Amino acid sequence: MKVTTLLVALLVTTAATAQTITKNIDSKVTRVTVFPQGAQVTRVTQASIAAGRSELTFTGISPYMDQSSLRVEASGGFTILSVSPVANKMHDQEKRKDIEALETSRKVWEKLQIRDRATLSIYTEEEKMLEANYKVGGDNTGLKATDLAAVLDLHRTRLRDLKFNEIDYNERIQKEQDSINRINEQITALNANTETSTMDVVVTVQSQTGATGDFTLSYVVANAGWNPSYDLYVDDINKPLTLKYKANVWQNTGEQWKDVRIAFSNGNPNESGIAPVLNPLWLRNIISAYSAAPAAMYKELSEVVVGGHKMARADEKNYLADQGNVYYAPQTQNATSISFELATPYTVVNDGQIRAVDMKSQEIPASFEYFCVPKREKKAYLMAHIPNWLDYNLMDGEVNLYYEGTYTGKTAFSLANTDDTLNLSLGIDKGITVERKQVKDYNKRVILSDKKTATASFEISVRNNKKYPINITIEDQVPVTTDKDISIDDISHDGATRDTETGKVTWKLNIPSGKEQKERLSYTVKYPKSYRVQID
């Protein structure tokens, strides 16, 4: 009897263990790292797991998930047996707020249109009744002429009112239909090329006694991104400048990023972290190979040129295979990437709209000077020089410039700049007056024998109308030539340096507040009288 009872208990236990329990699990997005193209999403949740084998279906995942990037971590008294991403065409995403708003507006217009159509039909029916009564009255009337005239006036007035009301309501109905059509077009445009279904992640687990598990899912999604921009403020050239870092972020992933921790990285989640392999370069006489057997030559050349890449791909495949299941493999990180994390949770709506997010504000030491090329423009530009600019984690991006509280234009940071000092033009300062004039007494042309001699002289003046002294760099030029029959002599540029190869002449001046400083540039050009030469 005891043996029979034990056998029955064993069979029941075995049947319960063999049965797979299915369960849907909701999870919440808690952290997102946004890349210039794509984003890494992290979800967390907790689930109770029964004894035996269970299939836990994590729902509501973005359909734009890169399945190879999926990683599942869990803790508890159970073992993960498998992880499978599965498309769920039966479950729609949560509707976008902008589409919801459009659909609500459409319902309002449709309701107004129904009411106006009902009112129009009443006027139409009344008109029909009025016409019918008029015919009946006309056939059986015994009214005097004066009474008949009064009846006709009443009929005419009421009929006119009905007609006018019908015209008004037809116009209203048409306007309502136009609004409905525009809303439908906008909804169609927003839904174009948008996947409305979701993805499920099915995790199969095995537990001996049942447990409560903590799950973390992370994966990379497309249809999201960001790019940096900056606001640069200079209120006083004797103080550090203020730089505000901003992220222009968007997402249309089908998921809601509500009150989540967000970081912005310039990394590339699709970039391979595997170092390239340099293979031997075997040289062959490809000319003789071509002449002897073109097909064989092509095969050999393919091996030489492409072979190294093929081997690299094979190595890469083996490397990935050694990592075990893809959902346990760690994400490759670029050691040189820059990342900014917001201090407080933030919401990015799933609508594809770009939103500017303030990341941080920082005071940066800089030196300032003015710069002008009066031969080209009689204007002075304020320049900022930021030393050791790589220390500030700057990235390529557009910069909005503000000087003394006024927007002055745009510039851009470029990582192609390899100098230690970043030079920025902050725009024109109208508080600096620049002039360049010819000195007439010195500008002349003389013909001697077979040569012409031309002398040019210019006066450059700069007035500082600011309340503080300024440093300014002035550039002009002396002509240069490679023609042995042309010579440039009597060059004068007191206080300036000259590059003999380019002819560039540079003054570096310090001008006190309210003062004007003048400089002079002159030179003489000799050339054959048969030449036509422009000397300035």
Confidence at residue 106, expressed as pLDDT on a 0 to 100 scale: 85
pLDDT beneath 70, residues of the chain: 1-18, 89-97, 134-149, 151-152, 187, 189-196, 273, 286-336, 417-418, 441-449
Residues 240-261: pLDDT tens digits? Answer: 999 999 999 999 898 989 999 9
The string of pLDDT tens digits covering residues 419-438 is 788 888 888 899 999 999 98
pLDDT score, position 297:
34
Q: What CATH number has the domain spanning 97-191?
A: 1.10.287
The whole-number pLDDT of residue 437 equals 93
Q: Which runs of consecutive H residues, i.e. helices, occur in 76-205?
A: 97-139, 145-191
Residues contacting residue 269 through CB under 8 Å, at least 6 positions apart: 35, 38, 40, 66, 69, 220, 331
pLDDT at res. 295: 43
Question: Residue 196 contacts by C-beta under 8 Å, 6 or more apart in sequence?
Answer: 92, 93, 254
Provide the 3-class DSSP secondary structure of residue 314: helix
pLDDT for 301: 33
Q: How far apart are CA 58 and CA 386, in angstroms?
A: 50
CA distance linking residue 7 with residue 126, whole number of Å: 88
The tokens of 2 are what?
């005891």
The separation between CA 468 and the C-alpha centre of its own chain, rounded to angstroms, equals 40
CA nearest neighbour of 376 among 474, 450, 296, 262:
474
CB 365 within 8 A of CB 384: no
